[in-house]
Structure 1
């Protein structure tokens, strides 16, 4: 393997920190550094590149911000697990999406109860605020690792058979079809950056200031003009990304 110092050109117009950053990115992409592996320290890299330690730090900082690396206080810097990519071109359940990737999906039930719809939920479902909804709160996992905290609200009068059922490690959409004869065919979804509360961070096994994505989705059944479901989910920003394909 060639020496690290030969991987950068000190006479190039390309900033040194950027060259170091791309070198590390390539080492990750080619498998020289694998997920959860501890990379060399800033001091070790600076010595091998024969450059300033602050230059190395800037390169590592940017890769941490991009999610390719993460720091563990008192230990060092590690390669992050690759993000799970979900296309936004079709309506699929979390379970089906994970299975298509060869990942074992999971769902841990936090709570299931029938409640009066809040103003926000009633607005999304186009119903009165005092009407009943089934609230299902679950932690969605991939190969046992928490990925999202999901809060689903469904019109209770249409999904009564689901209440009290075991919803651990099953697809809600599959149960809707099998138990209630309901098939969801259309959804409107929004995505925005969000912060998480300490209790949510604990459930997702992330720090309280780590990035997260707030996903809100309203889903419709075939032929219905009013939605059946409103979902509000917090996805880990370090483990998940969404893909949109656009054609001109």
Structure 2
């Protein structure tokens, strides 16, 4: 690697190679680590927008030319992505996508298998499924049931092409849940089973997303180190008539999934315009 491609010192701009013009936004006095994070953000978006396991990224020089970045910034960006588990270096091959992230939209009520159509095979390991005669009050409150009312609980480990993706726990009113238990829990989304059991379409869902550190049990099932950050989604799904039908808790591997949505800014009231 030539000296022209090295940064000239902490917080200083890299000297451009002969005949190469680096855009001003990449040669500011910002620390190289900051520039590397910006490159990593761009590459991460490329990977999460459709890359598959085994795809090979362009070499560092080509990426630098595409992004208007120094090779040092590209190299550090790739190191960040390796630390995230998204890519690896293979001798004689280059930088390879290891575990692409898959998008799960939050602006449409859809099951995971439906969302991931075309990305691989989703399978469900049914870890438990049955009636809870005395569920916690917090569950019956969410489902707008009387205290102590029985509910059906279904816990499934979801896999994509054999690799763990999420741990999903659903609580359903007993009348509906018993009919869901008769369905193909290993092969189908719970949403579809609920619509068949009730003869009604789902209407809407309220959800909250936050990050938690995986407890040892959850980490073991998802095959991540204990304490790893995972997405925690709490979702209450209602039928089209407004009845709550599924109080769901999901734990999703953050290294395999991105959550996205299309949101719109409401038009301001006439008085404010």
TM-score normalised over the length of structure 2: 0.68
- Could you tell me which residue of structure 1 aligns to residue 112 of structure 2? 94
Quote the residue 1:144 is aligned against: 162
Match of 1:127 among 145, 158, 171: 145
Of 258, 261, 266, the match for 1:241: 258
- The 8 Å contact of residues 28 and 79 in structure 1, kept in 2 or not, is answered as no
SS at match of 1:242: strand
Note if 1:162 corresponds to 2:180. yes
1:229 to 232, 246, 261: 246
8 A Cα contact 1:162 1:179, kept in partner: yes
Q: What is the CA deviation profile of residues 13-61 of structure 1, one whole-angstrom value per residue up to 9, with x for unaligned ones?
A: 2423345556677778889xx9579xxxxxxxxxxx999xxx9998677
- Structure 2 unmatched runs, 5+: 14-28, 56-69, 89-94, 266-273
The answer for the alignment partner of 1:211 in structure 2 is 229
> What's 1:176 paired with?
194
User: Does the aligned pair in 1 maintain the 2:135–2:148 contact within 8 Å?
Assistant: yes
Aligned partners of 2:41 and 2:6: how far apart in 1? 13
Structure 2 counterpart SS, 1:228: strand
Q: CA 1:199 to 1:244, structure 2 compared with 1: closer, same or farther past 3 Å?
A: same
Q: Which residue of 1 aligns with 2:32?
A: 16
Any idea what the Cα deviations from partners look like across 1:105-162, whole Å, max 9, x if unmatched?
Answer: 2211001010032112112111123111110000112222211100000001123222
Q: Which residue of 2 aligns with 1:110?
A: 127
What residue is the counterpart of 1:197 in the other structure? 215
Match of 1:187 in 2: 205
Distance change >3 Å, CA 240–CA 26, structure 1 → 2: closer
RMSD of equivalent CA atoms:
3.7
